[in-house]
Chains A and B, each alone.
Chain A
């Protein structure tokens, strides 16, 4: 993956020998700073193991020190790559300085966060061992040196063609790394917020650094060149996830992420592709869940039937579909914000109806606020989902079973999304979203096409709801609110779609993962979750309106062939960041 010398570079940085001595010195200093940060992680930063992660040991790093270690190594490596060290130059296909700045800042932020957290948690700077001071100084130096470096951003270098087995190995390695990173985040200690905050800081800076270095674009070139390999790799990564978890609370996080990500993806058909703002989407999840619960054979169900699981799922989907059509048919004929208002109302009416169909205020269907508990555990072909299973020596707990089941639903929804989106009907959705008048003038029956999107979205939510009801083994009305501290709620889902990136597959998956995981790990945030949502969305709209994962169409804007005639293209060169995390 050495760089192609024929590629013209705007800045005189192609030949390392040609760089100014000052630049070389600064890069060497940065590398040294990275190395010093690495060394500091082998020292003790505090004297007591009270701080989570045990940072008291001389000899090997632990807890938050690991993050400083990894970022320090990365800083050193990227600085060496910038110095032109043979064998490392593939690290910076589109320039090193911006990436170095991000890495240096990331190392600095993580380390200083740790040091300050030690001082605050344990009351006083006296709790810092010399190692902590060394780390603080060692990580501050590269920030200074990297910001003195000249910017050497250049168009992405065409790498030399590698043999395809090497490309495939790289893809596999990327997914393995992705799985490791996701696992690390999921397995951080939920009792203390510090490790997870440090993790978030480190991942955010590292991700931006990889984007700036051009590695993300390289990877997305590879993944689009080897599509089927990538899909298989993603699938395997997602399947092996539960086998790596040693606590059932971790696999539970996995199931919930899978469910909410799937529901967010279903909503993305409605919001992202067709441009219909559905503010009561969670009600369709509820319709599916309640329907499945009623026909599940639960002792609390008012209907005395016991459908097999597949039939319960189909029933949930179909009933949701019917509700979707009933809500959509009158509303979608109108233009403007009517749909948002009607769906908002529907969401609340659904919850109130479920509360009141308790036999006293209305007919006895749902047991009111008690909901429908005791949904019997799933059993498919003698495989009981509530038991632990051992497959080839690897153990799978109850949550793991449901995770794999939910993964199947996720895959189906991903397939539906990509196939529908990339077809005549999908183009019609996008056309309606872009300009409804022009779309109808091109012969698109706006009402029909929107109704299909709305009903499809409702059906997928219903299916996911049916699975969710079985996983939870109970349904209660209070789960299906417009906004609340606990997902799923309609605000959560819409926010996941917008935050992640509308109209993409990776976007809602990543958005739902982040929005679910962060409040889960940072318990103290829970009361302020809605406030945090709001702030996050405002910041996003200001700095990255296309969402974390940009749409392929928006990405095209920055495509090489389009660069000549792009008016006012900004310097964003982001690839599909979400791919590696999409399977979480």
Chain B
């Protein structure tokens, strides 16, 4: 569904991040095109989150550069967000003592410009801007299904809703590219389904999505393209089918060389039947079932 001829929203070239002797990310190239949902998978400690941090300026990459719509971004988080890349965090980082609405309003920061003076003078311009921000924030809460919780403190939300709120907050900056770091970690299957729908809806609104996830069914349902990171290096990149059937990926996840698993055919059929309803519905890779089980367990460890 994506044409690779359009100019990419995100171009990461040769991104390398070293912490002392540890190379967490090594020469990773990645493009994300408009309207695309790209997955980033890899075992724990592969450097996925570190890669996100490099993209968003939280870390200054040791080498390499990140460009948004062709312009190279300075490694300053607020400038990256201003340019149009928004993100969520693997370990939820909401403003715990602010209300749900206020959290989203903070997300609007870069798209409004009222400073101290207009806040003190409270002219009509200020009131209009404030009302517009509120309206937009409520719209986003509506969109993520949190509108009725607008006045709650964010720390009082259940886990799944906190993740949704992080997405709403990130969307408030009207990003061209949204980075999601394990958006379904800790969610039950229904919530995961809902998040899947939400990500599709976000894509349909014209925001490209780059998503880290350990839930393979989620990733392969959702993504147009998947990149696999192992020990800081990009191992494979391609469509779900390509990635699922790549022996090196399976080896990286299971830690053992792949040998045609008996009964894999049946497992794949079950998978396909389950995923049949979804539009991506392309789950034919033999070892997926095993892969998913293995990684779900690991996600729980990670949390």
Measured CB to CB, the residues of A under 8 A from B are 415-416, 419-420, 423-428, 430-431, 434-435, 437-446, 452, 456, 551, 553-554, 556-557, 559, 561-562, 565-567
Contact = CB atoms under 8 A, between A and B. Distances in A.
B119 A423 contact: yes
Nearest to A456: B116
Interface stretch (B23-31, B62-70, B98-106, B197-205): B98-106
Contact of A424 (B87, B97, B112, B157): B112
A269 to B, nearest CB: 11
B97 A561 contact: no
Given A556-B151, A565-B157, A565-B158, A438 B116 contact: no
A427 B93 contact: no
Given A435-B95, A559-B151, A566-B156, 17 more contacts: A419-B119, A419-B122, A420-B119, A424-B105, A424-B130, A425-B114, A425-B119, A430-B97, A434-B97, A435-B93, A435-B96, A439-B106, A440-B76, A441-B78, A442-B109, A452-B116, A562-B152
Closest 3 pairs between A and B when the two form their complex, measured CB to CB? A443-B110, A423-B119, A443-B81
Contacts of A428: 106, 109
Given A434-B96, A561-B152, A565-B157, A425 B78 contact: no
B128 to A, nearest CB: 13
Contacts of A423: 114, 119, 126, 130
Nearest to A563: B156
B78 A446 contact: yes
B119 A424 contact: yes
A563 B282 CA distance: 44
A501 to B, nearest CB: 13
Contact of A430 (B58, B89, B98): B98
A284 B78 CA distance: 30
A187 B169 CA distance: 53
Contacts of A430: 95, 97-98, 102
Contacts of A441: 56, 58, 77-78, 81, 87, 89, 93
B222 interface: no
A531 B106 CA distance: 41
Contact of A554 (B78, B97, B107): B97
User: Secondary structure at chain A's binding surface: helix, strand, loop or mixed?
Assistant: helix
A561 B169 contact: no
29 contacts: A416-B120, A419-B120, A424-B133, A425-B114, A425-B115, A425-B119, A430-B95, A431-B98, A434-B95, A435-B93, A437-B58, A437-B93, A438-B95, A440-B58, A440-B77, A441-B56, A441-B58, A442-B106, A442-B110, A442-B169, A443-B78, A443-B107, A444-B109, A445-B78, A452-B116, A456-B116, A557-B153, A562-B151, A565-B157
B173 interface: yes
B120 A553 contact: no
Contacts of B56: 441
A268 to B, nearest CB: 15
B159 to A, nearest CB: 11
A565 to B, nearest CB: 5
B156 A442 contact: no
Interface string B68-93: 00000000111001100011010001
A477 B56 CA distance: 48
A567 B156 CA distance: 7
B191 to A, nearest CB: 15
A425 B117 CA distance: 10
Nearest to A447: B78
Contacts of B156: 557, 562, 565-567
B82 A443 contact: yes
A559 B100 CA distance: 14
B243 interface: no
B245 to A, nearest CB: 36
Given A556-B151, A565-B158, A431 B119 contact: no
Nearest to A444: B109
Interface string B23-49: 000000000000000000000000000
A519 to B, nearest CB: 32
A69 B129 CA distance: 55
B116 A427 contact: no
B137 to A, nearest CB: 11
B229 interface: no
Contacts of A557: 153, 156
Interface of B: 56, 58, 76-78, 81-82, 86-87, 89, 93-99, 102, 105-110, 112, 114-116, 119-120, 122, 126, 129-130, 133, 151-153, 156-158, 169-170, 173
A499 B78 CA distance: 34
A567 B173 CA distance: 30
A559 B149 CA distance: 12
Contacts of B95: 430-431, 434-435, 438-439
Nearest to B93: A438
Given A423-B126, A438-B93, A441-B58, A561 B98 contact: no
Contacts of B81: 441-443
A446 to B, nearest CB: 7
A416 B117 CA distance: 10
A442 B107 contact: yes
B173 A443 contact: yes
Contacts of B102: 427, 430
A438 B94 contact: yes
A556 B77 CA distance: 31
B257 to A, nearest CB: 40
B62 to A, nearest CB: 20
Given A424-B109, A427-B102, A431-B95, A442 B115 contact: no
Contacts of B173: 442-443
Contacts of B152: 556, 561-562, 565
A239 B51 CA distance: 60
A440, A452, A559 — most chain B CB neighbours (10 Å): A440
A140 B106 CA distance: 55
Contacts of B116: 420, 425, 452, 456
A332 to B, nearest CB: 14
A553 B94 CA distance: 14
A441 B91 CA distance: 14
Contacts of A426: 119
Contacts of A566: 156
A472 to B, nearest CB: 29
Contacts of B106: 427-428, 431, 439, 442, 444
Nearest to A569: B156
B119 A553 contact: no
Nearest to B106: A431
Contact of A444 (B58, B78, B86, B94): B78
A561 B153 contact: no
B219 to A, nearest CB: 23
A415, A445, A559 — most chain B CB neighbours (10 Å): A445
A567 B107 CA distance: 26
A425 B81 CA distance: 17
Nearest to B96: A434
B114 A440 contact: no
Contacts of A424: 105, 108-109, 112, 114-115, 119, 129-130, 133
